[in-house]
């Protein structure tokens, strides 16, 4: 079933409006839990990172108190990877679909085994207790959207503990948020230098960790936000060719190709992301948008229906339901 082009353009505009509205109305969630050793004893000063390259900011860091407890606030809805690590222990990771509405997110429990893990000097010259306190102060500035103050505080922590890559990723994310705020307040503001600072932060990570996909995605998406589609495409295409390329690399490459009007290339990238994680709604929703762009209404409805089936709690599922209603009118 094919709809007139004018109708399809109208639905695509509605999809864009829904996406913007969902982003503007997005709430933040909280995830807490405990970190223990394999004897069941709490680990004080363990570092927990939450990472989601598709979110902004894409990473958060917390440390445990004397009872092994931690709490991370500010997470957007979506699939997050949580990693707990402590000197003298092997790190442990797990994924959780974070919800910002409805029932509270379930607590996470990490059990770290002795051996391996971060070296004793991973925290540099800062004690675990001091790290926890300094992170709390930096997080407070971040939550208050005091971007320059937050950047300065996170940079002070990073200077003492340069091995904490998550802090560097956080700083880069804040530069992007700062630029976004500046654009909202004054559409004519020169935000290019702020985006360049974010890119420089990501490039610093790649100097010590050339395979870091999060930094590569960050550069690509920062270039996209900056309006440099060529730079975004180049960075993400290079990342996609790496042996360890993640689903997020292909999804974000699809976003850039779609923004450039390269629907066939976007289709291939979104399909690859979906193949890597069939239960992830974002690439399926994007495939629906590509189908709409090609005036394939039936194909679009099929993709949007799949989003609802496989990822029913995601923001994309809510958007998919709204779009299907419009298409079926």
Whether residue 181 has pLDDT greater than 50: yes
Which of 30-39, 87-96, 223-232, 263-272 comes out lowest in average pLDDT? 87-96
Burial (CB count <10 Å: 0-12, 13-18, 19+), residue 77: buried
Tell me the CA distances in angstroms from 197 to 99, 267, 276, one per residue in order: 31, 31, 32
Which of 25-29, 204-208, 215-219 comes out lowest in average pLDDT? 25-29
* Local confidence band at 316 (pLDDT 50, 70, 90 cut-offs): confident
Tell me the CA distances in angstroms from 25 to 22, 78, 79, 252, one per residue in order: 5, 15, 18, 22
* Local confidence band at 80 (pLDDT 50, 70, 90 cut-offs): confident
pLDDT, tens digit, 9 for 90 and up, residues 239-269: 888 777 888 889 989 999 998 899 999 999 9
**Residue carrying structure tokens 């770290």:** 112
Side-chain half-sphere exposure of 217, counting CA atoms within 13 A: 26
Residues 80, 76: Cα–Cα separation, whole Å:
9
Asked if 35 contacts 112 with a C-beta cutoff of 8 angstroms, the reply is yes
What's residue 203's pLDDT? 94
- HEC assignment per residue over 206-240: HHHCCCCHHHHHHHHHHHHHHCCHHHHHHHHHHHH
What's residue 234's pLDDT? 92
Greater model confidence, 205 or 131: 205
Whether residue 23 has pLDDT greater than 50: no
Helix (H, G, I), strand (E, B) or coil at 282: helix
What's residue 117's pLDDT? 46
Residues 12, 304: Cα–Cα separation, whole Å:
13
What's residue 126's pLDDT? 57
Within a 10 A sphere around the Cβ of 185, how many other Cβ atoms? 8
End-to-end CA distance of the chain: 13
Domain boundaries, the chain: 27-120
Structure token pair of residue 254: 């699809």
Range with the largest mean pLDDT of 132-141, 166-175, 189-198, 203-212: 189-198
Look up the CATH architecture of domain 27-120.
Sandwich (2.60)
What's residue 24's pLDDT? 42
Which of 15-19, 38-42, 70-74, 281-285 comes out lowest in average pLDDT? 15-19
Residues 250, 274: Cα–Cα separation, whole Å:
9
Residues 126, 124: Cα–Cα separation, whole Å:
6
Tell me, what DSSP letter sits at residue 314?
S
Whether residue 208 has pLDDT greater than 80: yes
Question: What pTM was computed for the model?
Answer: 0.62
What's residue 209's pLDDT? 85
Percent of the chain with pLDDT over 90: 27
Whether residue 90 has pLDDT greater than 90: no
Burial (CB count <10 Å: 0-12, 13-18, 19+), residue 87: middle
pLDDT, tens digit, 9 for 90 and up, residues 122-176: 455 555 667 777 877 888 888 788 999 999 999 998 888 777 787 888 899 899 9
Structure token pair of residue 216: 């590569």
pLDDT, tens digit, 9 for 90 and up, residues 286-296: 999 999 888 89
Percent of the chain with pLDDT over 70: 84
């Amino acid at each position: 079933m094919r709809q007139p082009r004018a109708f399809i353009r109208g639905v695509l505009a509605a999809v864009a409006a829904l996406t913007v509205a969902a982003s503007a109305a997005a709430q933040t969630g909280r995830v807490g839990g405990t970190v223990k050793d394999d004897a069941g004893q709490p680990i004080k000063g363990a570092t927990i990172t939450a990472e989601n390259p598709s979110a902004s900011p894409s990473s958060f860091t917390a440390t445990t108190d004397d009872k092994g407890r931690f709490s991370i606030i500010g997470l957007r809805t979506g699939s997050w990877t949580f990693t707990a690590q402590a000197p003298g222990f092997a790190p442990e990771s797990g994924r959780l679909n974070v919800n910002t509405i409805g029932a509270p997110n379930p607590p996470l429990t990490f059990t770290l085994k002795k051996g391996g893990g971060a070296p004793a000097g991973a925290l540099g010259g800062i004690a675990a207790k001091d790290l926890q306190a300094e992170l709390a102060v930096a997080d407070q500035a971040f939550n208050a959207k005091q971007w320059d103050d937050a950047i300065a505080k996170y940079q002070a922590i990073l200077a003492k503990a340069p091995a904490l890559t998550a802090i560097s990723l956080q700083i880069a994310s804040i530069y992007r948020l700062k630029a976004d705020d500046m654009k909202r307040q004054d559409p004519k503001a020169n935000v290019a230098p702020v985006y360049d600072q974010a890119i420089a932060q990501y490039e610093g990570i790649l100097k010590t960790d050339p395979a870091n996909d999060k930094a590569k995605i960050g550069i690509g998406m920062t270039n996209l936000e900056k309006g440099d589609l060529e730079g975004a495409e180049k960075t993400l295409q290079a990342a996609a060719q790496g042996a360890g390329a993640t689903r997020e690399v292909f999804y974000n490459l699809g976003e850039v190709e779609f923004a450039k009007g390269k629907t066939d290339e976007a289709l291939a990238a979104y399909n690859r992301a979906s193949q890597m994680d069939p239960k992830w709604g974002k690439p399926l929703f994007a495939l629906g948008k590509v189908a709409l762009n090609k005036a394939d209404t039936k194909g679009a409805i099929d993709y949007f229906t799949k989003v609802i089936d496989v990822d029913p709690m995601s923001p994309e599922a809510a958007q998919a339901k709204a779009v299907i209603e419009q298409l079926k009118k």
